[in-house]
Amino acid sequence: MVHLNDVHHVYRPHIKYYREFGDRGVRELHENVRYQETLKDKRHEVYTGRYEIDQNRLDLTKDLYRASILHADALIERLIARLKSLGEYENTVIVLFGDHGDLIGEDGMFGHSYSLADELIRVPLLVHDPTGQLETGRRRDVVQLNYLYPTILEMAGLDVPETNSISLLEQSRESAFVHLLESTDNLEFPESDYPPFEQYAIWKSPSSKLVYAPEKASWEFAGDSGTGLAKELDKHLERLMKIPSKDESELSSSTRTQLENMGYL
C-alpha cells in the first residue's frame, strides 16, 4: 500500500507543478498557504458559520489543489515506471483511488467534514488488472469503495467472506450508500451550533440523491425521487449490523508508527 497525502489541505505542491496552472509570485503562494492554515485552525468557526471564507482567495487555492493532484500523478507515474523496469507491471494488480474529496468554498465550507456533498463522496477509482477478470474500459457503474474488498480477494483467487459488499467482477448495483460520523470530542462551541454529526446518503446520480441526518430527523433531496430513495435507504439501514465500540486503550507502538507515517499523528 502506498499512501499519498499530497492532495490534502493544506495544499502546497512543488512550484513546478503549480506553474502548469498559474503564474502568481512565490510570496503570494506562501500567503495563500498561510491562509489555508488559518482556515484549518479556524475550522470550528467555519463549521458553525462564525468565520466567513474569503472567496477572493479561492481561485489560487483551487490551482494549488490541481497542482497537488498533478504532483501525486507524477509520483504514481514513478511507481508504475519502477514496476515496469522490474518486469512486475503485468504481474501486479494496481488499484488507485481517493478516499474523499475536498470542499474549497462550496457551501461556505473548507475541507471534508460535516458534509456528504458530491465534491467529497465522488472520488477517482482506476484499476489495472493484468489477470483479465475485470471488464476493461471506462465504466459508469455506481461503486462504493468497500466493493474493493471482495473484488481484490476474488481477483487473487481467495475466498470472499460474506459481507454487504459485492465484487465488481460479477455484480453491480444502482445505488451507493455513504455514512458520515463526526467526533464530538474537543468541540469549541455547543453541539447544536454544528451541522449534523451523523449523516447517511443514498446516491444514484448527481440529480438523484438523498441525505438523511438522524439526530435532526431531516432529509435533503437532489432530484424528484425523494420518496423512493428514502424507502431504499431505510431498507439499507435495516440490513446494517451495529459493531460495538471497543474500550479506549493506548495505541501500540506499531499502530502509532503507521499513523505517523500516514500523516495522521
Of residues 249 and 39, more confidently modeled: 39
pLDDT in tens, 215-246: 877 787 776 556 789 899 999 998 887 777 77
**Cell reading at 184:** 464530538
Contact between 14 and 71 (Cβ < 8 Å): yes
Please list the residues that pair with 264 across neighbouring strands.
none
In a domain, 58, yes or no: no
Identity of the amino acid at 152: I
Please list the residues that pair with 219 across neighbouring strands.
212
What percent of the chain lies above the pLDDT cut of 70? 97
Contact between 167 and 202 (Cβ < 8 Å): no
In a domain, 189, yes or no: yes
Contact between 71 and 142 (Cβ < 8 Å): no
In a domain, 91, yes or no: no
In a domain, 133, yes or no: no
Strands 103-104 and 176-181: unpaired
Question: What is d(CA 106, CA 98) in angstroms, rounded to the nearest whole number?
Answer: 19
Please list the residues that pair with 103 across neighbouring strands.
111
Average pLDDT over residues 168-196: 93
In a domain, 116, yes or no: no
Contact between 53 and 46 (Cβ < 8 Å): yes
In a domain, 63, yes or no: no
Distances (CA, A) of 49 to 109, 159, 188, 212: 9, 49, 13, 21
* Residue length of the chain: 265
- Residue 92's nearest CA partner among 176, 152, 29, 44 is 152
On the question of pLDDT at 262 being above 90, the answer is: no
Residues 6+ apart with CB under 8 A from 172: 141, 142, 166
On average, the pLDDT of the chain sits at 91
pLDDT in tens, 44-62: 999 999 999 999 999 999 9
Contact between 206 and 186 (Cβ < 8 Å): no
Strands (E), 98-197: 103-104, 110-111, 125-128, 176-181
Q: Sorting pLDDT into bands at 50, 70 and 90, what band is 263? A: low
In a domain, 183, yes or no: yes
Contact between 6 and 68 (Cβ < 8 Å): yes
Residue 114: how many CB atoms within 10 A of its CB?
21
Number of domain units in the chain: 1
Domain that holds residue 223: 174-241
Strands (E), the chain: 94-97, 103-104, 110-111, 125-128, 176-181, 198-205, 208-213, 218-222
In a domain, 235, yes or no: yes
Q: Which residue has the cell 466493493?
A: 147
Residue 248: the pLDDT is: 66
Question: What is d(CA 29, CA 15) in angstroms, rounded to the nearest whole number?
Answer: 9
Average pLDDT over residues 121-136: 93
